[in-house]
């Protein structure tokens, strides 16, 4: 509890006080704080527990790579587990809770795992928990699962909104530190359209933590000057709080803008997060470098943080890391921190420098121990001392904070998302992005170690090169820098011997150096295998800090160079992304678009109940007063339709207009049956096959004129058939003169079925529609309401009744349906829904996609006659001849009735021969459709049964073991209502 | 795969506007032998590298396209209307 | 070295210095009875069962990278045998039975966890389809159970039952289905096969298949020529490329399937749950991460990476099923290359070329098949005839008209 807020300094707004809580305790922070800086300012250094050993953990970084300081923030539907305190902006009323601890953060029972750690090392679980066999699931796994995970998900829905947007630019600059600002400015001045994205709320990147002077200005003033100019340019889009998460094909970048993650209650009308897809001609990664931790005993003790992070908390947030501070460094950047700490009045007790010499002078008060390393840190929940080894001798120094400067790794994550492999550089002691990436370059510290002036120059020249490439010109930017100590590559220090405590490589997943050694020893020395065996790099930080150390340690264990070990694969996302951001507005009722028929409101007014059918809401039945179950309504609709008449909305059938002088030839090739000879004014039922000979879809097509046809498809395949026909006309037979138009939405279509259908229709149709003039399968344009409206009328039947389908322009659909109901009322008309439609068609043995399931041939469904033997070509013709497709053992369509009409059966039941054992070998087929037929007063079924058509009359068992229903039944003709009852031709 | 497809009719458009059918193979003659039809319908070169594929600009101009791209790098080399006959 | 609680304890006392390598790193011999191309789950399992079931140990598994670097290490770890068609169902049930005894067989804990695989349905038509499937399973003695909304609400209270675009009406559960720690499957088989004398040779890329008088006699590799009596291909994802070396054109396309893992969360999803109104399925690992995925990207690809549009598509379906996922974060996405066959079902068969055997076409279902695939491929290689449960999985079934088409989509691989 030794970190504290300095009385002055930093870029926080001390005039604004922001109250917040952590584990129920109240604290105050300031505007501009992150949750992490505010916790440190309040002396709260213990903030988390690790995954496996429940080690006490503090704040290690000041950014996206944080492995330790994960907490749950928010409440209710806004609960967010695993939030990194180092990137979460503080707001008034923020509620943060620590995770993975019980009963409390300071007293965590789970820490007993640390004592058991000798047995819980890498891969231990693969070697045990196997006896007795049943114990894994009953005992061991539940115990492991109880301990699993970090934060807890809420069960509540998120009240906030998300959205998606596209951006297009010439140049995307990722990162707004010295390099990114210079790149963006250079490109913008040359006239390129520039997007500058930075994950922080403020632009400036590392400059916000720096005390160097650029062009005589304080770093923050220099940033302000650059940003002001960028803001003034119309060709620049600035995206702050925006993390570029992935690089995708065609140089499209994914990015997430945290629009309102820094407020307690988001303003409505604005999203909390916005997912950007940025299509960029070119991109510059100015993503900087990640500082490396050093691997020594107890290197996870709260109070230890990366040197760059400590400098950020000090300079940007005005937070002192402790009362007695030490710095463990392998390079000169440690001295920049030393200078800044001492200037801020913080007591710096020691600098432990692994080198014999540093290249910068140090005139401060701290002891400088050269050629020295920290071997161990002690203190448990709060750092109390460090053990130092210098020239073979050990000494201990009491400190409460330790900065660790282990060198830098360029942040090349995005550059490797499209398959490029990082390349090891001995000169840079780091993995660099591969060369010659198409459309992407890296600049500044993301490309190579350099000082501030180098970064500015590099960013600028890279941008200039792109501008030139895109036909623009400009000038490179350079700056004069004072007080900058960065810039030299030093020999890395991968392993530090003589630790007594655990030396962590992956903090969050508790992977130690010993674990990696063991992986190599057991044959898992390949970097990918070591990762999978030890879980190194698999935590929420995805190895941002740990991977490089793990690779180097594996290299040491195997006696090879890091180049030979190589890296694991960088994959999206750079930092984790919420489901909400990726979903945008497509949630709840808006998950998928809703399609409503032009007759929807008519159906609503007639008390329809709707069901989802694909994207459609279809009227399923129309309940009337006194009807208590859906079956009451459906039975009435079915009976009434057969006795009087029924009106059904069939607008959702796919409707395609086909025209052109070769339309007849075209139809002949896409249907398996003949269409060329169809007379004008007639409709015909057709089957479409796939290339493999199976039925694809069915429907009717009518010839309205010599060169004009009107096709209907099933509802489910409407879009598919349209695409298919377009494919046929454009890709297969572009020489045919055929034009296609989808007119599904242009027509409201209704089916009027029943003995009184003609009488009712004649009331609104101007032409005579008597059988002689409008016979079975007639299809013509008709005049309605005394010439007020034109429609299309087809005498086709899906019910076995005298039936017509009438199509009218969609906008008139409701009125026409109302009119039909009105004129039909004296004749007893009723509305019927898709349920009754299904009963009516099943009673006649007509098929739907319940039967056409993609694995049936025309012959399977008794439609062999619909395959032309004479046409030279139609889709599916050749593959239909394969031997297996005429195998007599293929299941074929048959009807099915229960022996006892009061017994039902369900679709999906299988068929067994009477007295046959219930085995797969005895399986005879299955029920495709079932319904209650009010005419037969029995359940009826359609089924695909082996040799079905030859077995009419055979008794079988309709077997539904899933529901414990075993119904004796009889195979029968699939047409349940026979010619005597048939009226479509009447 | 490409995030953007350059439709010859509509310009560069998001991939989501397109639907993919599969290998763009010439259809055998109607009376070609069974074996040739079998090869056409069921067998695939499945190259690692240059590949011609049918795409449909379903949410755009409704034209079928032949997209030539690399199945290893995902780079798109060309995109033409499927009705265009390629000069041999 | 045999693994046990005792061995862990004893080695812990010795700071784990005593563990030996889980396998050898042998150089190839000039000739083997059988060479398997592909050191993934299927290839390693094949080697294990060749040695264990058939006593054939003069076997090499050739892996171009590291073992388990293919799809066995990049899937969503689901095991199940809830197949519809008789051509598939007995095979996957054999696989599930082998999973159930895997750890004792291999002396390796692959964490087979039978937490139940649940398919949700949202319409009468889907209910009918699952009824048909569940009954097909029951007829073969496979466990299947239909759950209604009330039961589901108790089990999975976090799902959006009523307010979603497509309300959840019920689901078909196979309780014996579940998950397995995927990498450990490759390691367990490799270690067991190695212990029986099989040479598992890593970093050995096959560059050619040598034939004499039409017969396969060996392979050219990055480590030189290696002779064999029989050659088995188990290189899913790259099957077409390897088969091409023998002049064989397959009914297969390579497609990319993405999968995802979230940040670690306290366990709240106990089952594997498959959404029925969109492409999304999810389980939660023993480490706490949600492991989830959706549909294949839909285009031929050998790159192990996918497109952002599919990522968004998966998130949309995920949120439609579980609204509370909104503030849960995707941690990582990855892609595997699938052998998508022309009917969505695999091929384990001889080929028209003497001494060449094929194990391919696993689509996105190869992981769950690993044990049976190895078992049956070993059977085929050892005896020269298909195991009874793979008698429908023939290479010539497309030509003859005997497709095993579970989804009824026909000869368009990206629809399966």
pLDDT recorded at residue A981: 53
Choose from B46, B65, B66 for mutation: most chain C CBs within 10 A: B46
Smallest CA–CA separation between A111 and chain C, in Å?
Answer: 17
Smallest CA–CA separation between B59 and chain C, in Å?
Answer: 15
Is C188 in a helix, a strand, or coil? helix
Residue A877's closest chain B neighbor by CA? Answer: B30
> Do residues A64 and A87 lie in contact, with contact meaning Cβ atoms separated by under 8 Å?
yes
- A110-139 pLDDT, tens per residue? 888 888 888 888 888 899 887 777 788 888
- B21-43 pLDDT, tens per residue? 999 999 999 999 999 999 999 99
Ramachandran angles phi, psi of A162, nearest 5° = -135, 155
A19, B52, B56, B72, C213 from B5: Cα distances, Å? 51, 14, 11, 17, 47
DSSP A465: H
d(CA A180, CA A204) in angstroms, rounded, equals: 9
Nearest Cα neighbor of A326 from A316, A343, A308, A341 is A341
Task: Give the mean pLDDT of A492-508.
Answer: 95
pLDDT category of residue A359 using cuts at 50, 70 and 90: confident
d(CA A887, CA A864) in angstroms, rounded, equals: 14
Nearest Cα neighbor of A671 from A658, A689, A659, A656 is A689
Per-residue pLDDT at C209 exceeds 70? yes
User: Are the beta carbons of A730 and B41 separated by less than 8 Å?
Assistant: no
pLDDT recorded at residue C171: 98
List chains touching A (3+ CB pairs under 8 A): B, C
Is C290 in a helix, a strand, or coil? strand
Q: Which of A249, A726, A881 sits opposite B2 (nearest CB)?
A: A249
- Cα torsion A933, A934, A939, A943 to 10°: value is -10
pLDDT recorded at residue A789: 98
Per-residue pLDDT at B45 exceeds 70? yes
- A246-292 pLDDT, tens per residue? 999 999 999 999 999 999 999 999 999 999 999 999 999 999 999 99
Q: Residue C59 pairs with which residues in a beta bridge?
A: C34
Per-residue pLDDT at A978 exceeds 90? no
CATH 3.50.50.60 range(s) for chain C read 26-107+182-251+343-415
> Do residues C358 and C243 lie in contact, with contact meaning Cβ atoms separated by under 8 Å?
yes
User: Are the beta carbons of C103 and A146 separated by less than 8 Å?
Assistant: no
Task: Give the mean pLDDT of C351-361.
Answer: 98
d(CA A97, CA A83) in angstroms, rounded, equals: 10
Q: Which of B1, B41, B43 sits opposite C299 (nearest CB)?
A: B1
- A412-449 pLDDT, tens per residue? 999 999 999 999 999 999 999 999 899 999 999 999 98
- C262-311 pLDDT, tens per residue? 999 999 999 999 999 999 999 999 999 999 999 999 999 999 898 999 99
Smallest CA–CA separation between A100 and chain C, in Å?
Answer: 8
d(CA A759, CA A178) in angstroms, rounded, equals: 84
pLDDT recorded at residue B2: 72
d(CA C199, CA C62) in angstroms, rounded, equals: 8
Q: Residue A297 pairs with which residues in a beta bridge?
A: A376, A503
Residues contacting residue A804 through CB under 8 Å, at least 6 positions apart: A751, A752, A753, A757, A758, A761, A769, A793, A794, A795, A796
Cis check for the bond before A668: say yes or no (omega within 30 of 0): no
3-state secondary structure string across A774-819: CCCCEEEEEEECCCCEEEEEECCCCCCCCEEEEEEEHHHHHHHHHH
Nearest Cα neighbor of C302 from C344, C255, C260, C342 is C255
Q: Which of B41, B46, B53 sits opposite C299 (nearest CB)?
A: B53
Q: Which of B34, B75, B76 sits opposite A878 (nearest CB)?
A: B34
* C207 burial via Cβ count (<10 Å: 0-12, 13-18, 19+): exposed
> Do residues C148 and C171 lie in contact, with contact meaning Cβ atoms separated by under 8 Å?
no
Domains and CATH numbers, chain A: 162-289+410-482 (3.50.50.60), 502-578 (1.10.10), 602-652+747-841 (3.30.1360.120), 663-705+714-745 (3.30.70.1400), 888-978 (2.40.30.110)
Query: In this predicted model, which residue has the larger pLDDT, A15 or C13?
Result: A15
Measured between beta carbons, which residues in chain A are less than 8 angstroms from residue C268?
152-153, 155
Residue A741's closest chain B neighbor by CA? Answer: B62
d(CA A716, CA A577) in angstroms, rounded, equals: 35
- The domain ranges of chain B are 4-81
Q: Which CATH architecture has domain C26-107+182-251+343-415?
A: 3-Layer(bba) Sandwich (3.50)
d(CA A400, CA A323) in angstroms, rounded, equals: 7
- A323-349 pLDDT, tens per residue? 999 999 999 999 999 999 999 999 999
pLDDT recorded at residue C8: 87
Residue B34 touches partner A, C-beta closer than 8 Å = yes
Mean pLDDT of chain C, nearest integer: 96
Mean pLDDT of chain A, nearest integer: 96
d(CA A21, CA A174) in angstroms, rounded, equals: 33
Per-residue pLDDT at B88 exceeds 60? no
CATH of domain C117-178+253-341: 3.30.9.10
pLDDT category of residue A983 using cuts at 50, 70 and 90: low
User: Are the beta carbons of C266 and A149 separated by less than 8 Å?
Assistant: yes
pLDDT recorded at residue A111: 85
Measured between beta carbons, which residues in chain B are less than 8 angstroms from residue A727?
21, 54, 56, 64, 82
Task: Give the mean pLDDT of C19-24.
Answer: 96
Q: At which residue do the structure tokens 């339709």 appear?
A: A641
- C364-376 pLDDT, tens per residue? 999 999 999 999 9
For the record, the structure tokens of C22 come out as 């889980």
d(CA A402, CA A60) in angstroms, rounded, equals: 10
Choose from A249, A420, A868, A874 for mutation: most chain B CBs within 10 A: A249
> Do residues A385 and A399 lie in contact, with contact meaning Cβ atoms separated by under 8 Å?
yes
pLDDT category of residue A979 using cuts at 50, 70 and 90: low
Residue C90's closest chain A neighbor by CA? Answer: A920
Residues contacting residue C32 through CB under 8 Å, at least 6 positions apart: C58, C59, C60, C199, C226, C227, C228, C229
Find the range with the poorest average confidence among A137-141, A290-294, A890-894, C15-19.
A137-141
Find the range with the poorest average confidence among B72-76, C25-29, C230-234.
B72-76
pLDDT category of residue A1 using cuts at 50, 70 and 90: low
Strand-strand pairing, A242-248 and A252-258: antiparallel
Superfamily of domain B4-81: Folate-binding superfamily (3.30.2270.10)
pLDDT recorded at residue A323: 97
> Do residues A244 and A255 lie in contact, with contact meaning Cβ atoms separated by under 8 Å?
yes
Per-residue pLDDT at B87 exceeds 80? no
Measured between beta carbons, which residues in chain A are less than 8 angstroms from residue C15?
118, 514
Ramachandran angles phi, psi of A512, nearest 5° = -105, 170
A163, A586, A591 from C166: Cα distances, Å? 22, 13, 9
CATH 3.30.9.10 range(s) for chain C read 117-178+253-341
C-alpha count within 13 angstroms, C-beta hemisphere, residue A526: 13
User: Are the beta carbons of A588 and C326 separated by less than 8 Å?
Assistant: no
Nearest Cα neighbor of A965 from A892, A912, A893 is A912
pLDDT recorded at residue A324: 98
d(CA A209, CA A62) in angstroms, rounded, equals: 10
Is A762 in a helix, a strand, or coil? helix
Supply the pTM of this predicted model: 0.96
> Do residues A145 and A256 lie in contact, with contact meaning Cβ atoms separated by under 8 Å?
no
Measured between beta carbons, which residues in chain B are less than 8 angstroms from residue C397?
none
Q: At which residue do the structure tokens 């505010």 appear?
A: A38
pLDDT recorded at residue A667: 98
Measured between beta carbons, which residues in chain A are less than 8 angstroms from residue C307?
248-249
List chains touching B (3+ CB pairs under 8 A): A, C
Smallest CA–CA separation between B80 and chain C, in Å?
Answer: 17
pLDDT recorded at residue A984: 57
3-state secondary structure string across A494-542: CCCCCCCCCEEEECCCCEEHHHHHHHHHCCCCCHHHHHHHHCCCCCCCC
CA C68-C72-C74 angle, 5° bins: 100
> Do residues B55 and B18 lie in contact, with contact meaning Cβ atoms separated by under 8 Å?
yes
Measured between beta carbons, which residues in chain B are less than 8 angstroms from residue C300?
22-23, 46, 51, 53, 71
């Amino acid at each position: 509890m030794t970190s504290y807020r300095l009385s002055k300094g930093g870029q926080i707004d001390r005039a604004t006080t922001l109250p917040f809580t952590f584990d129920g305790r109240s604290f105050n922070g300031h505007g501009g704080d992150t949750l992490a800086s505010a916790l440190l300012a309040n002396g709260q250094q213990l903030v988390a527990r690790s995954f496996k050993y429940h080690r006490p953990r503090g704040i290690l970084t000041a950014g996206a790579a944080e492995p330790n300081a994960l907490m749950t923030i928010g409440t209710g539907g806004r609960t967010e587990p695993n939030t990194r305190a180092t990137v979460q902006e503080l707001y008034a009323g923020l509620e943060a809770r620590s995770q993975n601890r019980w009963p409390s953060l300071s007293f965590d029972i789970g820490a007993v795992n640390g004592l058991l750690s000798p047995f819980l090392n890498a891969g231990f679980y693969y070697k045990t928990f196997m006896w007795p066999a049943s114990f894994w699931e009953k005992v061991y796994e539940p115990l492991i699962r109880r301990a699993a995970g970090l934060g807890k998900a809420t069960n509540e829905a998120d009240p906030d909104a998300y959205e998606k947007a596209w951006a297009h630019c010439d140049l995307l600059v990722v990162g707004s530190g010295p390099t990114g600002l210079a790149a963006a400015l250079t490109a913008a001045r040359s006239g390129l359209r520039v997007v500058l994205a930075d994950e922080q709320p403020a632009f400036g990147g590392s400059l916000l933590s720096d005390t160097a002077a650029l062009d005589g200005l304080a770093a923050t003033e220099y940033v302000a000057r650059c940003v002001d100019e960028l803001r003034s340019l119309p060709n620049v889009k600035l995206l702050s709080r925006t993390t570029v998460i992935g690089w995708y094909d065609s140089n499209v970048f994914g990015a997430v803008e945290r629009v309102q993650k820094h407020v307690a209650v988001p303003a409505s009308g604005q999203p909390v997060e916005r997912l950007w897809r940025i299509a960029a001609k070119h991109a510059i990664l100015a993503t900087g470098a990640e500082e490396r931790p050093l691997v020594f005993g107890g290197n996870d003790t709260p109070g230890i943080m990366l040197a760059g992070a400590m400098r950020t908390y000090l300079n940007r947030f005005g937070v002192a890391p402790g009362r007695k501070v030490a710095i463990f460094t392998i390079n000169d950047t440690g001295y920049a921190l030393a200078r800044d700490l001492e200037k801020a009045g913080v007591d710096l007790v020691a600098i432990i420098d692994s080198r014999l010499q540093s290249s910068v002078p140090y005139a401060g008060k701290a002891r400088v121990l050269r050629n020295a390393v920290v071997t161990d840190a002690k203190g448990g929940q709060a750092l109390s001392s460090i053990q130092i080894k210098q020239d073979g001798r050990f000494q201990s120094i009491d400190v409460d904070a330790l900065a660790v400067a282990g060198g830098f790794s360029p942040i090349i994550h995005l550059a490797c998302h499209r398959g490029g492999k990082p390349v090891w550089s001995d000169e840079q002691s780091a993995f660099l992005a591969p060369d010659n990436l198409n459309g992407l370059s890296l600049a500044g510290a993301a490309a190579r170690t350099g000082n501030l002036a180098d970064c500015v120059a590099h960013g600028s020249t890279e941008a200039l090169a792109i501008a030139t490439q895109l036909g623009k010109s400009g000038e490179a930017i350079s700056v004069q820098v004072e007080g900058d100590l960065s810039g030299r590559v030093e020999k890395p220090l991968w392993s530090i011997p003589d630790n007594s405590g655990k030396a962590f490589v992956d903090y969050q997943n508790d992977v130690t150096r010993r674990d990696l050694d063991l992986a190599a020893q057991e044959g898992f020395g390949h970097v990918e295998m070591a990762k999978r065996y030890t879980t190194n790099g698999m935590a929420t930080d995805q190895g941002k800090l740990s991977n490089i150390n793990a690779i180097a340690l594996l290299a040491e264990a195997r006696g090879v160079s890091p180049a030979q070990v190589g890296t694991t694969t960088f994959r999206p996302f750079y930092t984790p992304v919420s489901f909400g951001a990726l979903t945008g507005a497509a949630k709840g009722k808006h998950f998928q678009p809703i399609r409503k028929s032009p007759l929807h409101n008519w159906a609503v007014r007639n008390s329809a109940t709707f069901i989802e059918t694909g994207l459609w809401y279809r009227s399923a039945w129309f309940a009337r007063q006194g009807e208590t179950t859906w079956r009451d309504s459906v039975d009435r609709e079915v009976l009434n339709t057969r006795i009087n008449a029924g009106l059904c909305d069939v607008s959702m059938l796919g409707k395609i207009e086909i025209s052109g002088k070769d339309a007849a030839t075209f139809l002949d090739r896409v249907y398996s049956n003949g269409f060329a000879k169809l007379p004008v004014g007639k409709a015909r039922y057709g089957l479409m096959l796939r290339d493999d000979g199976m039925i694809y879809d069915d429907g009717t097509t009518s010839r309205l004129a010599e060169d004009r046809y009107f096709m209907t498809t099933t509802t489910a395949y409407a879009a598919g058939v349209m695409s298919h026909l377009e494919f046929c006309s454009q890709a297969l037979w572009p020489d045919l003169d055929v034009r296609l138009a989808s007119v599904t939405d242009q027509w409201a279509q209704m089916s009027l079925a029943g003995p009184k259908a003609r009488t009712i229709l004649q009331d609104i149709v101007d032409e005579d529609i008597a059988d002689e003039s409008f016979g079975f399968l007639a299809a013509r344009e008709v005049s309605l309401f005394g010439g007020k409206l034109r429609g299309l009328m087809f005498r086709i039947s899906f019910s076995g009744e005298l039936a017509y389908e009438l199509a009218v322009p969609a906008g008139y659909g409701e009125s026409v349906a109302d009119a039909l109901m009105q004129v039909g009322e004296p004749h007893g008309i009723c509305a019927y829904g898709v349920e009754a439609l299904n009963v009516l068609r099943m009673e006649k043995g007509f098929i739907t996609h319940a039967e056409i399931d993609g694995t049936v041939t025309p012959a399977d469904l008794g439609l062999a006659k619909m395959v032309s033997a004479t046409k030279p070509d139609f889709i599916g013709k050749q593959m239909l001849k394969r031997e297996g497709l005429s195998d007599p053992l293929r299941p074929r369509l048959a009807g099915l009735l229960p022996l006892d009409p009061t017994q039902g059966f369900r679709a999906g039941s299988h068929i067994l021969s009477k007295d046959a054992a219930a085995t797969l070998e005895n399986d005879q087929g299955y029920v495709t459709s079932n319904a209650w037929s009010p005419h037969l007063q029995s359940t009826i079924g359609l089924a695909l049964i082996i040799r079905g058509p030859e077995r009419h009359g055979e008794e079988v068992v309709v077997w539904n073991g899933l529901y414990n229903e075993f119904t004796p039944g009889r195979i029968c003709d699939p047409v349940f209502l026979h010619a005597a009852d048939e009226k479509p031709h009447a | 795969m490409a995030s953007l497809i350059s439709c010859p009719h509509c310009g560069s458009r998001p991939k989501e506007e397109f639907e993919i059918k599969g290998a763009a193979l010439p259809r055998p003659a109607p009376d070609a032998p069974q074996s040739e039809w079998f090869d056409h319908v069921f067998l695939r070169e499945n190259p690692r590298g240059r590949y011609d594929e049918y795409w449909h600009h379903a949410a755009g101009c409704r034209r079928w396209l032949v997209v030539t791209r690399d199945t290893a790098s995902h780079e798109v080399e060309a995109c033409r209307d499927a009705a265009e006959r390629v000069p041999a | 070295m045999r693994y046990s609680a005792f061995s862990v304890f004893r080695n812990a006392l010795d700071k784990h210095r005593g563990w030996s390598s889980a396998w050898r790193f042998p150089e190839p011999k000039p000739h083997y009875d059988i060479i398997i191309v592909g050191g993934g789950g299927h290839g390693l399992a094949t080697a294990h069962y060749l040695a264990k079931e058939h006593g054939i140990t003069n076997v090499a598994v050739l892996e171009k990278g590291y073992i388990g670097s293919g799809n066995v290490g990049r899937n969503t770890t689901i095991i199940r045998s809830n197949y519809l068609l008789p051509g598939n169902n007995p095979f996957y049930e054999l696989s599930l039975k082998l999973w159930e005894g895997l750890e004792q067989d291999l002396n390796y804990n692959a964490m087979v966890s039978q937490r139940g695989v649940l398919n949700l349905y949202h319409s009468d038509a889907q209910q009918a389809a699952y009824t048909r499937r569940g009954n097909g399973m029951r007829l073969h003695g496979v466990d299947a159970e239909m759950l209604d909304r009330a039961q589901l609400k108790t089990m999975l209270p976090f799902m959006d039952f009523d307010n979603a675009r497509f309300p959840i009406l019920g689901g078909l559960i196979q309780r014996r289905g579940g998950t397995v720690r995927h990498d450990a499957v490759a390691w367990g088989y490799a270690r067991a096969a190695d212990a029986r004398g099989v040479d598992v040779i890593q970093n050995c890329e096959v560059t050619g298949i040598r034939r004499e008088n039409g017969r396969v006699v060996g392979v050219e590799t990055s480590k030189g020529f290696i002779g064999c009596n029989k050659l088995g291909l188990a290189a899913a994802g790259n099957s077409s490329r390897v088969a091409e070396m023998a002049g064989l054109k397959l009914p297969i396309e390579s497609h990319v399937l993405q999968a995802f893992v979230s940040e670690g969360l306290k366990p709240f999803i106990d089952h594997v749950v498959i959404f029925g109104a969109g492409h999304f399925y999810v389980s939660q690992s023993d480490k706490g991460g949600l492991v989830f995925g959706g549909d294949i990207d839909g285009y031929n690809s050998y790159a192990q990476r996918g497109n952002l549009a599919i990522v968004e598509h998966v998130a949309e379906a995920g949120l439609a099923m579980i609204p509370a996922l909104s503030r849960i974060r995707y941690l990582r996405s990855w892609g595997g290359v699938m052998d998508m066959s022309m009917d969505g079902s695999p091929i384990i068969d001889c080929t028209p070329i003497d001494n060449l055997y094929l194990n391919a076409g696993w689509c996105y279902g190869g992981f769950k098949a690993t044990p049976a695939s190895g078992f049956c491929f070993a059977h085929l290689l050892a005896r020269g005839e298909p195991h009874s449960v793979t008698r429908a999985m023939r290479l010539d079934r497309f030509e003859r008209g005997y497709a095993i088409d579970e989804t009824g989509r026909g000869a368009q691989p990206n629809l399966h």
